[in-house]
Amino acid sequence: MAITEALISEYNDLVRIVASTKHKEYPMVPRDDIEQELWVWFLKHPNKTTEWRQLDIKESTKLFTRSLHNAASRFCQYEKARSVGYEISDVSYYQRAVVEELLPSVLNNDWSQEITFDMNSDRKTLAPNEGGNLMAMQADISRAFDMLNERHQNVLIQWNISGKNSKELAVAIGSASEKAARMRVTRAIDALIQNLGGPRPYYEADYKNVKIVDKTQKEAE
């Protein structure tokens, strides 16, 4: 697959937005290098690119945005490790379930609070050290919480006070619905995870054995 003028015209703005966003998170990585890496993503994923371009514009944009953010995160994390001088394997990641489980103990300032997830499970790889030290994880989350803006902090505090009850949370924060209240919690936790270094980037393979049908040819038929 070649990077055509049509493809550049269609996705140039999205590529620049994603690259600018990641450059702010990783200022040591030049924005032009991130943009170049994102265009490489299109080259390496011709089947996905062709199929997604034929979808509804809203769904198509959502898929491309998610994949480009992931590709940019992978590239920037490797570039940061290379420039700073550490191994990428030393980077720790926190899953949402782990953050939600540990956050109440941090907000209650009770780090002896019972934790129900298994520290010997695969989640131990999310710990900030090899041993999966619980208190070190709580300390990380505490620092990440302090970095949040006041709006996100308030939502998470009220969420904790309500016992993670969406109905009570909606009343406490004056939300229009339980769903909207829960979405505010989700956005706040996403921001907290970003302060912890962001979600783990994943390797994304292209679709295999997909019959590629050119959109203009399809319309002509």
For residues 147 and 195, the answer to whether their CB atoms sit within 8 Å is yes
Overall pTM > 0.85: no
Residue 208 φ/ψ region, left for φ over 0, alpha for ψ in the -120 to 50 degree band, beta for the rest? beta
Of 90, 96, 76, 98, give the one whose Cα is nearest residue 201: 76
Which class for 2: exposed (0-12), middle (13-18), buried (19 or more C-beta within 10 A)? Answer: exposed
Under the banding of pLDDT at 50, 70 and 90, the label for residue 94 is: confident
Instruction: Go through the domains of the chain in sequence order and give each one's CATH number.
Output: 5-88 (no CATH), 96-195 (1.10.10)
Summarize pLDDT for 131-166 with one digit per residue, the tens. 447 788 888 999 999 999 999 999 999 999 998 888
